[in-house]
Amino acid sequence: MQHGSIVLIEDDEDDQFLIQQMLTELGVPNRIQFFANGEQAMAYLLAMQEQPFIILCDVNMPVMNGIELRQRIDENPELREKAIPFIYLTTDASRGLVETAYKATIQGFFKKETAYGKAKEQLRCIISYWEHCLHPQNIG
């Protein structure tokens, strides 16, 4: 398993709880850092010392949404250089939103599954992929 925390940016506390429960059931040992909006997450990303494993981000949130957060990360040379995998995990998957999201340097866009078992399998696939994928920050 890759070291570093999982940064989860999700304003719905029920979804936070369910995602945490699924990751625990999947045996994912990484600490989870929860943030309710992009502004809180950006402050953490700017101040962090460790390299996060992955960012899982909702799109529709108050204060700063997921699209705005990704744009701010892309505009910051230090954060861009860290190459933290950035995955949208959201309920809104309209064509326009997906097209907008992929104009930034994201690594995935997933519509949240509504059934618990399917959502858990979705998370397993995301985590497993990034566990095995090489990117600039995990090459020995």
Instruction: Name the residue ranges covered by the structural domains of the chain.
Output: 6-132
For tokens 């090459």, name the residue.
Answer: 139
- Give the model's confidence band at 140: pLDDT under 50 very low, under 70 low, under 90 confident, else very high: low
Express each pLDDT in 64-119 by its tens digit: 999 999 999 999 999 988 889 999 998 988 888 888 888 888 899 999 999 999 99
Which strands, in side-by-side order, build the sheet including 6-9? 32-35, 6-9, 54-57, 86-90, 108-111
**pLDDT at residue 111, rounded to an integer:** 94
Supply the pTM of this predicted model: 0.93
Distance between CA atoms of residues 132 and 134, nearest Å:
7
Measured from the Cβ of residue 42, the count of other Cβ atoms closer than 10 Å reads: 19
CATH: 3.10.20.90, 3.30.365.10, 3.40.50.880, 3.40.50.2300. Which one for 6-132? 3.40.50.2300
Instruction: Please check the confidence at residue 138 and state whether its pLDDT lies above 90.
Output: no
Please compute the mean of the pLDDT values over residues 22-39 and round it to a whole number: 96
Residue 137 φ/ψ, nearest 5 degrees: -95, 0
Instruction: Please check the confidence at residue 135 and state whether its pLDDT lies above 80.
Output: no
